[in-house]
């Protein structure tokens, strides 16, 4: 193999690893959001995919429509030991609404509602 082919092969492998990291793990989006009793917190992580390479435009009067296309994960952690309790996929993450209840975290994303059940009380 020529040196140029090896370099292109290496660049392709690195690009695939970066894509896999950004699409599966995501990058932190906003800060930590603690439960009322500070026993749990959730962290949003934004994922990136091939569709993010396509430019988007909103219709006139719909300036924030692009926010419905930002997807990611909500990860719930226990504060005591920073252990991951649950992970759920959220569509339309910037517009999603989150609410702590006694035994679960409820959120409304672009595709409807979902919840994360907690092992102990959050309030």
Number of structural domains in the chain: 1
What region does 69 belong to: left with phi over 0, alpha with psi -120 to 50, or beta? alpha
Task: Determine the structural domain holding residue 80 and report its residue range.
Answer: 3-49+63-117
pLDDT digits (tens, 9 = 90+) for 60-98: 776 666 666 778 889 999 999 999 999 998 888 888 899
Query: 106 or 123, which is more confident?
Result: 106
* Residue 20, phi then psi, degrees to nearest 5: -60, -40
Instruction: Indicate whether 123 belongs to any domain.
Output: no
Instruction: Indicate whether 56 belongs to any domain.
Output: no
Query: 8 or 65, which is more confident?
Result: 8
- The neighbouring-strand residues paired with 76 are 42, 86
pLDDT digits (tens, 9 = 90+) for 15-33: 888 777 766 777 888 889 9
pLDDT digits (tens, 9 = 90+) for 46-66: 887 777 777 777 677 766 666
Instruction: Indicate whether 91 belongs to any domain.
Output: yes
Instruction: Indicate whether 8 belongs to any domain.
Output: yes
Instruction: Indicate whether 97 belongs to any domain.
Output: yes
Instruction: Indicate whether 12 belongs to any domain.
Output: yes
Residue with tokens 């989150």: 98
Instruction: Indicate whether 36 belongs to any domain.
Output: yes
For residue 16, what is the enclosing H or E element? helix 3-20
Instruction: Indicate whether 54 belongs to any domain.
Output: no
Query: 36 or 21, which is more confident?
Result: 36
At 100, is the pLDDT very low, low, confident or very high (cuts 50, 70, 90)? very high
- Cα-only R_g, the chain: 18
């Amino acid at each position: 193999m020529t040196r140029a082919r090896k370099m292109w092969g290496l660049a392709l492998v690195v690009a695939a690893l970066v894509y896999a990291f950004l699409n599966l793990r995501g990058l932190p989006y906003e800060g930590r959001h603690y439960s009322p009793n500070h026993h749990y917190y959730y962290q949003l992580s934004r994922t990136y995919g091939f569709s993010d390479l396509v430019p988007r435009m909103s219709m006139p009067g719909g300036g924030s429509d692009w926010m419905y296309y930002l997807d990611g994960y909500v990860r719930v952690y226990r504060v005591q030991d920073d252990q991951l309790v649950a992970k759920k996929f959220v569509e339309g993450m910037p517009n999603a609404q989150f609410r702590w209840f006694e035994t679960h975290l409820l959120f409304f994303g672009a595709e409807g509602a979902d919840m994360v059940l907690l092992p102990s009380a959050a309030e």
